[in-house]
Structure 1
Amino acid sequence: MKREALLDAAESLLFEHGTQALTLAAVADRAGVSKGGLLYHFPTKEALVRAMVARVIEEFDGLVASHDDGTPGSYSRAYVEATFEILTGEARAHRRWSAITAAATDPEQAEPLNEAMRRWHGEPAGERDPGAAMVVRLAAEGLWEVVSHAPELYDGEQLEALKQRLLALLER
């Protein structure tokens, strides 16, 4: 059993049933492996949660990097593009985020995510209007949170219009 499939199983349990359902036995059962097979990759529930948090951070960092061309203001544009790629792409991605946030309620478990938030929402160099860039990134973050809880609220056309509006704010 691959590590990624175990993480997927844990994330689906979290999303479907909440943090109380995240047990090593339940993850092993969902993934169709023995508990020993799971323990080989994740010896504790805390190790499993750390790996889920790390994967979310790495995936988002990778998306941002793929859109950041290094020109002035490109970081915030990349942040918006990455956010909307997740919101309009594979449904699992934004569910994953809310599940991981719920799982990382222990301050020690949440610290990598908190550090990533400080980095993502800090003041990157080269912004034309740092205040507007901050507002745009926070708006994208807020939209992500809303869509995580109410995915039916905005259709694809509405999300595209919101993305274009946020990008336009960065060009002023």
Structure 2
Amino acid sequence: MRRDELLDAAEQILCDQGSAALTLSAVADRAGVSKGGLLYHYGSKEALIRGMVERLIDDFDELMAAQPGDTYTERYLEATLASVRSGRQRRWAVVTSASGSIDLLAPLRDAMTRWHREELAQEPDPVAAQIVRLACEGLWDVASHDPGLNTEADLQALELRLKALLHPSA
């Protein structure tokens, strides 16, 4: 069994039943493997949660790398909007809520530090870039709790306004 299939099974349990239902036995059952097979890849529930957190970070980094944009902040904005449009942020909400421990979220804290500091000094307007990055965090958080709040037209309007902050003369 591949690690991604185990992480998929764990995420499905979190989405369907909540963090109280996330047990190694439940994940093994959902993935169709023995508990020993699961323990071979993830020796504890904490290791499984850390694996989910790390995969989410890797997924977002890959999404950012695939986005168009001349600056890091433009790619961050595009990746955030792509995540909100696809509903990916729900995965983040259920995984991070399942952690139950600040230590399990250390990789996310490190990623957030990187995402908010990366190339900030190289931006044409570092303050505007920081505002856009923080707006992305707010959009992500609100969409996690109320995914139907913003229509596609709303997202397009937000995108235009945030890009205007980055390029005021355009």
State whether TM-score is above 0.5. Answer: yes
- Where 2:117 maps in the other structure, the secondary structure is coil
Q: Which amino acid aligns with 2:127?
A: G
* Structure 2 unmatched ranges of 5 or more: none
Q: Which amino acid aligns with 1:88?
A: R
Q: Which amino acid aligns with 1:9?
A: A
Alpha-carbon distance between aligned partners in 2 of 1:34 and 1:146, rounded to the nearest angstrom: 38
Alpha-carbon distance between aligned partners in 1 of 2:25 and 2:32, rounded to the nearest angstrom: 10
The answer as to whether partners of 1:15 and 1:98 remain within 8 angstroms in 2 is no
Quote the residue 1:65 is aligned against: 65
Select which of 106, 116, 124 maps to 1:121. 116
- 1:166 and 1:108, CA in 2 relative to 1: closer, same or farther beyond 3 A? same
Q: Please identify, of 29-38 and 107-116, the stretch whose mean Cα deviation from structure 2 is larger.
A: 29-38
Q: How many residue pairs get matched?
A: 167
Alpha-carbon distance between aligned partners in 2 of 1:12 and 1:146, rounded to the nearest angstrom: 22
Alpha-carbon distance between aligned partners in 1 of 2:145 and 2:17, rounded to the nearest angstrom: 14
- Where 1:152 maps in the other structure, the secondary structure is coil
Deviations 1:125-153 (A, max 9, x none): 31111111111111111111111111111
Does 1:141 pair with 2:137? yes
Q: How far off is 1:106 after superposition?
A: 1.1
Q: Report the RMSD for the aligned CA atoms in angstroms.
A: 1.6
Percent sequence identity over aligned pairs: 53
Quote the residue 2:16 is aligned against: 16
Q: Which amino acid aligns with 2:103?
A: E
Quote the residue 1:158 is aligned against: 154
Quote the residue 2:55 is aligned against: 55
Select which of 79, 82, 85 maps to 1:85. 82
Moved over 3 A (4+): none
Q: How far off is 1:85 after superposition?
A: 1.0
